[in-house]
Structure 1
């Protein structure tokens, strides 16, 4: 699986491509190594960012404190810190949630 994930002292960092205002909230696979995450929330006042974090937390069965957007809060390209999860474990989570390369 060709995903842009880097080790981090607290866990790992995943590159994501956000698509706010989508018809449904879902994972849309990998695009150029980034995980595409679609959410129905609009990109205003951080609503889409909160929706992304909540959706991924529920999908991967993580605690809310384990996910944090490190950069790209106002951009569609974001870097997401996932605490206490190794890059290898993250790849397993992606596979388990049905993520494929598009």
Structure 2
């Protein structure tokens, strides 16, 4: 999963698309990995998988990130991703 993270937001939420990347605002600040951890926790919660199944593959110190999610329930993930994609189409 390719993501553009925006740390230091008012709340953690999906905020549409940034080009081809899913944009997620993260409440935690980018200090000592706090924003990365909050992002992974958010994804795990939304995709209904244990936190340990979400791994930051690249982008530890950058806004653009690649996340690997292992053994996620396919039907649920597809519906969540479709909802997020729809948000991206309607956001400005």
Task: Check whether TM > 0.5.
Answer: yes
Change (3 A) 1:75 1:35: same
Gaps in structure 1 of 5+ consecutive residues: 1-13
TM-score by length of 1: 0.74
In structure 1, the partner of 2:12 is 25
In structure 2, the partner of 1:38 is 25
Q: More helix by proportion, 1 or 2?
A: 2
RMSD of Structure 2 on Structure 1 (CA) = 2.3
Query: Which whole-Å CA distance do the structure 2 matches of 1:68 and 1:74 have between them?
Result: 14
Retained in 2: the 8 A contact 1:28–1:99? no
TM-score by length of 2: 0.82
Equivalent position SS for 1:100? helix
In structure 2, the partner of 1:75 is 62
Aligned residues: 89
